[in-house]
Copies of this chain bind each other. A is one copy, B any other.
């Protein structure tokens, strides 16, 4: 499955939009000559055939015309019918969040949300203990946090990481963000310019794909297998594409649940250093393991500052608080803080203080242990119900999802439509694939629906699927 073909459709659309926006916004006026195919290809760092294809479609759509042997020219009156306000021209190349669109249909059997069922979180304890937080910080609602994040929280997290991983770290290496999604977005804004190559696992986290796309990145993919990657392929791509960064989820990977081995982690850091590629390690499910704790994060193998580590606790502690942390070396941190300051001037202090006190409590440890068992049970229920089919998946050792391969002849798009009619949701593999293929795979989350819903919902789902075969 898959290889490093860059998404041609995407590049093609990028050229098409690049030209059309300039025409529509009257930057390129009628009868202006377009850049030559060679020139634009070199400027945008893409293949000439892609530019040619875009120019030809623009001609077909009557936006430009050709003079033989001279070149392409802007057609007159292109902007005439443009209703400016109804067609806002957005700045980024793909302003789309695929996953959030799926989540818009309310369903009874929700297997699309990789979120923890709110009933598994210690809500009552939270309510009573938040009052203590207000007693401790009576002016917490009247105060801004610093941009980098509350120092007390950063100190507490630093102690936690040092204790867990025996790593060198100080609070200046930590940035508090509003969820890991903001962290990914800050990193993309800080380090990626339009046209930059970035390496992605295939499949990967859909929102991260959308974020890097929106920043204009060209995504090169590496397949992820149950134990990691083909490291020779990784090295080849590092050499060939010189990616700025490699966005990866090495622990209980989303959507597959796979975990990269300790050996590969070490080797990856060496490769990244050698080829000067940042590793962006997104670690949102580290504590959600079923039997054994996973290997330490990749950043703990890093001595040269090649890894930017994103650790999120939101999902399994308190989704409503939106707290995550980014760890990296100081020269990278400086840029991230500036971008964070422009983005929202710091995450709310209240949320950081609430999180701080819960995170460092004994209660959290107890909560986690119970949560792991509850999630393992839900996973087993889902797997049991799926056992009647011949579908394939690798049973995950942690995380919130099953990554399931359906029979080739099952039409996934129709399956989604029919499932939503039956009040069942799931995530089609295509959405998790930077190349928009993997159409016989789906992601089923077992963390949001309760045991009864899982049992009933998966039965119904299997029935829907079988009716389509």
A158 to chain B, nearest CB (A): 21
Contact stretch, chosen from A54-62, A136-144, A435-443:
A136-144
Chain B residues with CB under 8 Å of A87's CB are 331
Residue-wise, chain A 119-153 has the 8 Å CB interface mask toward B (1 for contact) of 10101101100110011001111111101000000
Contact stretch, chosen from A3-11, A206-214, A412-420:
A206-214
Query: Are A350 and B141 within 8 A (Cβ)?
Result: no
- Which chain B residue has the least Cβ–Cβ distance from A32? B42
Query: Are B127 and A95 within 8 A (Cβ)?
Result: no
Query: Are A211 and B342 within 8 A (Cβ)?
Result: yes
Please provide the chain A residues from 213 to 230 with a CB less than 8 Å away from any CB of chain B in the complex: 214-215
A172 to chain B, nearest CB (A): 13
Contact stretch, chosen from A160-168, A319-327, A381-389:
A319-327
Chain B residues with CB under 8 Å of A92's CB are 189-190, 339
Contact stretch, chosen from A175-183, A246-254, A392-400:
A175-183
24 residue pairs from A and B, CB less than 8 Å apart: A25-B242, A88-B191, A90-B339, A92-B339, A95-B335, A95-B338, A97-B341, A121-B142, A126-B134, A126-B142, A130-B130, A130-B134, A142-B319, A143-B319, A144-B319, A178-B344, A178-B347, A179-B344, A181-B344, A182-B343, A207-B345, A210-B342, A321-B350, A350-B350
Query: Are B343 and A185 within 8 A (Cβ)?
Result: yes
A2 to chain B, nearest CB (A): 24
Indicate whether A144 sits within 8 Å of B85 (C-beta atoms), given known contacts A127-B138, A139-B121, A342-B214: no
- Which chain B residue has the least Cβ–Cβ distance from A27? B45
Q: Measured between alpha carbons, how far is A444 from B214 in the docked complex, in Å?
A: 40
Interface of A is mostly: helix
Max chain B C-beta neighbours (<10 A), residue from A127, A139, A320: A320
- Which chain B residue has the least Cβ–Cβ distance from A348? B322
Chain B residues with CB under 8 Å of A350's CB are 320-321, 350-351, 354
Query: Are A143 and B127 within 8 A (Cβ)?
Result: no
Q: How many residues of A contact B (CB 8 A)?
A: 85
Indicate whether A190 sits within 8 Å of B147 (C-beta atoms), given known contacts A207-B345, A329-B85: no
Is residue A96 within 8 Å, beta carbon to beta carbon, of the partner chain?
A: yes
Is residue A21 within 8 Å, beta carbon to beta carbon, of the partner chain?
A: yes
Chain B residues with CB under 8 Å of A341's CB are 97, 100, 207
Query: Are B331 and A140 within 8 A (Cβ)?
Result: no
- Which chain B residue has the least Cβ–Cβ distance from A358? B141
Query: Are A118 and B134 within 8 A (Cβ)?
Result: no
Is residue A306 within 8 Å, beta carbon to beta carbon, of the partner chain?
A: yes
Partner of A43, one of B43, B193, B347: B43
Is residue A169 within 8 Å, beta carbon to beta carbon, of the partner chain?
A: no
Indicate whether A190 sits within 8 Å of B85 (C-beta atoms), given known contacts A121-B141, A142-B319, A341-B97: no
A89 to chain B, nearest CB (A): 8
Partner of A118, one of B131, B139, B339, B345: B139
